[in-house]
Amino acid sequence: MKKILLLFTCFFCFTGCNLMKDINNTPTRKVEELLNRYQTLHADVLKDLDKAVAEEELFNNEQRESYKNIMKKHYQNLTYEIKQEEINADHATVKAEITVTDYTKALQDASTYLRDHPEEFADESGEYDASLFTNYRLEQIKNVKDKVTYTLDIQVTKKDDRWVVDSLPNSTIDKIHGIYTY
């Protein structure tokens, strides 16, 4: 009887572990994991942010730190809801609705302000100083409170029996970052 109980316990543990593995191996779960990485400031997300900020030639070190802090807060405030999962063989589309801070209008308004008030972004010799305008833009986006909701269609592909999120198109990345231009 003890052997049967032991076998039953082993069988239950084995199948239970496999069920847990399968629960996490769905297109929806992979998209949730992706969006959760933003919310929790996962190391991969921060690495990508650091790389993008380092490549921005207009930023000085202080501006880089300011922008990183703005984006970290932005990522943590991202909310989402999975709306639908559609599987077709080894390909799936997961429809997710995200709500993010809407920086688009602030960035557009800053560009308009630069066009209309170029003298405010000139150095002592009257030449345009990109650093002054970058400070202005950072201050504008830091103060944004407006939110926007986007619906994303995220593609997921099954490879070696594991679902993997496909590379995101630039429009989806812009929506996640709150800078999508309609």
* Enclosing domain of residue 164: 2-103+144-177
* Domain presence at residue 66: yes
Rounded to the nearest angstrom, the gap between the alpha carbon of residue 49 and the centroid of all alpha carbons in its chain is 10
Residue located via tokens 């202080």: 62
Residue 77 located in a structural domain: yes
Give me the residue label for tokens 């590379």: 167
Question: Could you give the number of structural domains in the chain?
Answer: 1
Query: What's the CATH number where 16 sits?
Result: 3.10.450
Q: How confident is the model at residue 19 (pLDDT cuts 50, 70, 90)?
A: very low
Q: Is residue 94 in some structural domain?
A: yes
* 53 in any annotated domain: yes
pLDDT category at 24 given cuts 50, 70, 90 is confident
For residue 166, what are the CA distances in angstroms to 31, 91, 95, 105? 10, 10, 14, 29
- Record the tokens describing residue 49, joined without a space: 């942010």
Averaged confidence pLDDT in the chain:
90
pLDDT tens per residue, range 137-159: 999 999 999 999 999 999 999 99
Closest by Cα among 76, 88, 115, 113 to 27: 88
